[in-house]
Amino acid sequence: MQHLLRFLKPYKKELFLGPFFKLLEAVFELFVPVVMAKIIDNGIANGDTAYIGRMCGLIVLLGVCGLGFALTCQYFAARCAYSYGRDLRDAVFRHIGRLSCTELDRLGTSTLITRITTDVTASQQGVNMFIRLASRAPFLVMGAIVMTFVIDWQLSLLFLAVAPLLGLVLWVVTRKTIPMYGRNQQKLDGISRHTGEDLVGVRVIRAFSRQKQEASAFQDECTDLERSMLSAGRIAALLDPMTFLLMDLGIVAVLWFGGGHVDTGRLSQGDLTAFANYMNQILLAGVQLANLIQILTKAQASSLRIAQVLETETSMQDGTSVPDPSAPEAIAFEDVSFGYAGSGDAALSHISFTLQKGQTLGIIGGTGSGKSTLVRLIDRSYDATEGRVRVFGQDVREMQERPLRRLIGSVPQKAVLFSGTVTENLRVADADASEETMRTALEIAQAAEIVDRLPFGMQTRLMQGGRDLSGGQKQRLTIARALAGRPAVLILDDSMSALDYATDAALRRALETRCEGMTKVIVSQRATSLMHADLILVLDDGVCVGQGTHEALLESCEVYREIYETQMA
């Protein structure tokens, strides 16, 4: 929770002035019963209409002043709360961006989305209501108690008898609901995950006519969340009626015993009315305090979930050295092994090879053989569990992450485009890329004709994820995006799988002739796409069963020969 308190430090002024003006409102509110007592005892009893008029004017003045102080408090509360929420969202988003893929895999996308939206909103609401009520309600209760003691200390003992019962009700409800609110947020994570998966895979769901099954599964999750929220709501709903019941019983007792004090002359009618008003103020403040505790309970549960994200440290520590792209050795693996967190088997075992600058590395193998995992170690998406990965002669763990990634243009297996113009997508790799650089990248990636056919060319806006493009078009644009950054190392992780053979061949020729000096790593299921590579790695179940040129592997590697002959046949 200390991670979240630091976001309130820039708003110390609002944190002070908000409660201060709320205290002033409470002070003015405490004067109202006293004035009403004066009206009854001095004005009504004596028939002094002028006095009554003056006192009513004073009540209106107190009300106007109280309203002004309340509005001022709400201004400072809103300013502090919404600024806090803005800063907190920004910090969580930035922190998520610094986490390694290992932590992101462990946390999950759906829960991160829920925490940065719903949980931050709940925490923000808690800050807002805390400033508005945390000072007013307790002060009003304590002030009203003091005023009742001034009027008649014996009657005040009745409230002191009710107070422990109120505290017990608050404690029981809070103790029950805090863990329930946390579980509700976890179930909301599951609904967010299910929603995201269904929206991404809507075409698959329709293709297999799974709409009813998915709708039923989604309804079951929503029903489970509904039951859980109703359970928490039933317990929380006891707070207001129990508070009203106890306080009303206290007021009844005050009127019962206070009536006797009026008969004996110990109390005036105005004092008894003021006493009853103070008890009503205590009642309303108690209800506000109960609601505040309920809001703060939800805010605490959400704040703990946010703090868990902020307290999650990345397993990758940034290095200090800067890579030197002029080094003759581009990529080297030294007895590298890697296993995903929580997975029993190693994804890669004892991989060793060396690739010189300007050469092309081809990686081939069956599904699940570790091809994508291997290239993720090059740009340090993951760290090797054993051995060393060197880029331009240096261990990637000793390099600064930002300069390393600027030298590597990575095209993932799944083509990902962002909503925005083609230009905005191409400039993801280099925000300062010129029109000429982007045009050259499009031509090499065989995507220039795609852009030329768009209604506004490079200024055409793409839909989210590039849904208005085919699979091959998206792949060519993502390759162009990587090339627009003019990388020293280009990684194509099976990113030409949707291209026809003619486009595939044209793209490989363009990479060979127009990207001289660039080191290329190509992952492909097609042996024909890797035939001209300087070095080919053949992976089988995470083990390198062969490496060499195409001709050498045909003679020495049975796995490669089977893949090639099967495809050629």
Residue 408's H or E segment, with its range, is strand 408-411
Position 3 confidence tier, pLDDT thresholds 50, 70, 90? low
How large is the average pLDDT for residues 23-32?
80
The answer to whether residues 479 and 411 touch, using CB atoms and an 8 Å cutoff, is yes
386-391 and 519-523 beta bridge pairing: unpaired
- With a pLDDT cut of 70, the percent of the chain lying above it is 95
Q: Which two tokens stand for residue 180?
A: 């329930």
| pLDDT at position 1 | 52
Residue 521 predicted with pLDDT over 90: yes
How large is the average pLDDT for residues 239-258?
74
| pLDDT at position 470 | 84
Question: Of residues 395 and 195, which shows the higher confidence score?
Answer: 395
- With a pLDDT cut of 90, the percent of the chain lying above it is 18
Nearest of 511, 486, 484, 485 to residue 496 by alpha carbon: 511
Q: What would the pLDDT profile of 442-491 be if each residue is shown by its tens digit? A: 999 999 988 888 888 889 888 877 777 888 888 899 999 999 989 999 99
Q: What would the pLDDT profile of 392-422 be if each residue is shown by its tens digit? A: 989 999 998 888 888 999 888 888 888 888 8
Cβ neighbours for 82, distance < 8 A, ≥ 6 positions apart: 124, 128
Q: Which two tokens stand for residue 189?
A: 């994570």
Cβ neighbours for 446, distance < 8 A, ≥ 6 positions apart: 476, 499, 503, 506, 507, 510
**What are the residue boundaries of the structural domains of the chain, listed by start?**
83-311, 329-568
Q: What would the pLDDT profile of 283-332 be if each residue is shown by its tens digit? A: 777 777 777 877 887 788 788 888 888 888 887 888 888 888 888 899 99
Cβ neighbours for 366, distance < 8 A, ≥ 6 positions apart: 539, 540
DSSP state of 321: B
Fold of 83-311: ABC transporter transmembrane region fold (1.20.1560)
Bridge partners, 510 (sequence order): none
Q: Which two tokens stand for residue 508?
A: 């490989």
Residue 409's H or E segment, with its range, is strand 408-411
DSSP state of 419: S
Position 38 confidence tier, pLDDT thresholds 50, 70, 90? confident
Residue 520 predicted with pLDDT over 60: yes
Bridge partners, 538 (sequence order): 364, 546
SS (HEC) of 50-77? HHHHHHHHHHHHHHHHHHHHHHHHHHHH
| pLDDT at position 261 | 65
The sign of the torsion formed by the CA atoms of 114, 118, 122, 125 equals positive
Cβ neighbours for 108, distance < 8 A, ≥ 6 positions apart: 189, 193
- DSSP states along 482-534: HHHT--SEEEEESTTTTS-HHHHHHHHHHHHHH-TT-EEEEE-S-GGGTTT-S
Angstrom distance (rounded) from CA 334 to CA 77 = 58
345: alpha, beta or left? (left if phi > 0; alpha if psi -120 to 50) = beta
- 83-311 and 329-568: identical CATH topology: no
Range of weakest confidence among 11-20, 203-212, 472-481: 203-212
Fold of 329-568: Rossmann fold (3.40.50)
Angstrom distance (rounded) from CA 328 to CA 356 = 6
Per-chain mean pLDDT for the chain: 83
Question: Of residues 112 and 246, which shows the higher confidence score?
Answer: 112
Residue 281 predicted with pLDDT over 80: no
Distances (CA, A) of 350 to 46, 52, 337, 365, 410: 102, 95, 5, 16, 24
Range of weakest confidence among 7-11, 243-247, 499-503: 243-247
SS (HEC) of 78-136? HHHHHHHHHHHHHHHHHHHHHCCHHHHHHHCHHHHHHHHHHHHHHHHHHHHHHHHHCCH
Q: In what order do the strands lie in the sheet with 348-356?
A: 394-395, 386-391, 329-338, 348-356, 543-548, 535-540, 360-365, 519-523, 489-493, 408-411
| pLDDT at position 361 | 93
Position 35 confidence tier, pLDDT thresholds 50, 70, 90? confident
